[in-house]
Amino acid sequence: MEFKDRLKARRHMLGISQEELAKKSGVTGRTIQNYELGTRKPQNIETAQKLALALDTTVEYLLGNDGLLVAEAYERGGARSARDINALVSEISGLFAGGEIAEDEKDGIMAALNQAYWMAKEKNKKYTPSKYKK
């Protein structure tokens, strides 16, 4: 189940409209529409937390572990890091397709790969010429 499905299911379960959810969470009605269509996802943890609070659930439930990794990457390293982590998560998720692996083990593997990504990024920062550093 994806973010858009969890969001819509939870909203329907509570019996609230998209506009009501928008008002409760502090985002626009159009944003909620885009979330439920799957054309957008929250780009930061704060927005996801507001949605989770409005829907009386957790960020982990709404975003799922993969989405949480991407949102954290956006917060930590911007849009480029979020794209990198999203691509990494997508590729690795493909490896698990059709296999039998416990969800806890999958989450552990994803967390380890996420940590390896950030370690590599930090290590490579040392070799960036100073004229290119911000």
State the average pLDDT over residues 105-111: 80
> Domain 3-126 - what CATH class?
mainly alpha
Domain extent listing, the chain: 3-126
What is the tens place of the pLDDT at every residue in 7-56? 999 999 999 999 999 999 999 999 999 999 989 888 788 888 999 999 99
For tokens 């990024």, the residue is 121
Task: Look at the chain and count its residues.
Answer: 134
Q: Backbone phi, then psi, for 28, in 5-degree steps?
A: -80, 160
CA atoms within 13 A on the CB side of 18: 12
pLDDT category of residue 121 using cuts at 50, 70 and 90: confident
Contact 14, 55 (CB under 8 A): yes
Q: What is the pTM of this model?
A: 0.66
For tokens 């692996």, the residue is 101
Q: Which of 34-38, 60-64, 99-103 has the lowest mean pLDDT?
A: 99-103
Tokens of 93: 């998720």
Distance CA 68, CA 73 (A): 8
State the average pLDDT over residues 74-85: 84
- Residue 116 pLDDT: 85
Average pLDDT, the chain: 84
